[in-house]
Chain A
Amino acid sequence: SSELTQDPAVSVALGQTVRITCQGDSLRSYYASWYQQKPGQAPVLVIYGKNNRPSGIPDRFSGSSSGNTASLTITGAQAEDEADYYCNSRDSSGNHLGVFGGGTKLTVL
């Protein structure tokens, strides 16, 4: 079982705003990082740290964190945003182990 918990599936109407959440004790010490994965492709980092986007990631992607919950928000979702999204952090053991959430399948209607 994952130490980071995500909803398995979320849907959003085209152009609307959607929030994908990730919960876990380790998020009180670590910012979550977020990855987008489309079928047959490697994951792509979309958000890291407090709210940082790698070069090339649209500014409709943003991140936030509060307590044990991290959120990825897509403001004005586009059809090309339909994908699986994974959060990632160190685990809560203090042993510097990596852990992923179970993933959220985002459907853009």
Chain B
Amino acid sequence: QVQLQQWGAGLLKPSETLSLTCAVYGGSFSGYYWSWIRQPPGKGLEWIGEINHSGSTNYNPSLKSRVTISVDTSKNQFSLKLSSVTAADTAVYYCARGLAVAGPDLYYYYMDVWGKGTTVTVSS
């Protein structure tokens, strides 16, 4: 059974860089989109971006200028960096495994395995 274990710094000052890593245990690394999602306190889910095993990335346009997602296939890990953080970046950050495939009529896209989440607080 695939499990995602994530870690990273939980308290940052404004202008610092958020850095989180997610390790994949128990499954293949290829064929999936490895994703980051965040949830500000009391608010909904926001898709941050994703990377596949070959390093191809897609980013939320609203965060694209500050986000870098990278992959280390030798360790089955992927990472998120978000630069120049502000209080608005305070959130629980989740990593997840995504899959996008063509169905007989519509495309399928879903995230079936999630990490437990890391609370990141930005405060001076």
Flag if B98 contacts A98 (CB, 8 Å): yes
Flag if A100 contacts B47 (CB, 8 Å): yes
A residues 20-75 near B (Cβ < 8 Å) are 28-31, 33, 35, 37, 42-45, 48-50, 54, 65
A residues 76-99 near B (Cβ < 8 Å) are 84, 86, 88-90, 95-99
Taking CB atoms, residues of chain B closer than 8 Å to A99 are: 47
Given contacts A45-B110, A54-B112, contact A31 B117 (CB under 8 A): no
B residues sitting closer than 8 Å to A (CB atoms) are 35, 37, 44-47, 50, 58-61, 94, 98, 100, 103, 105-112, 114-117
The 4 closest A-B pairs by CB, nearest first: A33-B110, A98-B47, A48-B110, A100-B45
Flag if A43 contacts B114 (CB, 8 Å): yes
Interface size classification for chain A: 20 to 34
Flag if A30 contacts B44 (CB, 8 Å): no
Flag if B109 contacts A30 (CB, 8 Å): yes
Q: Which of A28, A43, A89 contacts B45 (CB 8 A)?
A: A43
**Nearest CB on B from A86, distance (A):** 5
Flag if B44 contacts A103 (CB, 8 Å): yes
Q: Which of A65, A97, A100 contacts B58 (CB 8 A)?
A: A97
Q: Which of B59, B107, B112 contacts A30 (CB 8 A)?
A: B107
Closest B residue to A37 by beta carbon equals: B45
Given contacts A95-B58, A97-B61, A98-B50, contact A65 B115 (CB under 8 A): no
CA distance A65 to B35 in the complex (A): 25
**Nearest CB on A from B38, distance (A):** 11
Q: Which of A31, A35, A97 contacts B103 (CB 8 A)?
A: A31
Closest B residue to A104 by beta carbon equals: B44
Q: Which of B60, B94, B105 contacts A42 (CB 8 A)?
A: B94
**Nearest CB on A from B92, distance (A):** 8
**Nearest CB on B from A102, distance (A):** 5
Taking CB atoms, residues of chain A closer than 8 Å to B108 are: 30-31, 33, 48-49
**Nearest CB on B from A34, distance (A):** 9
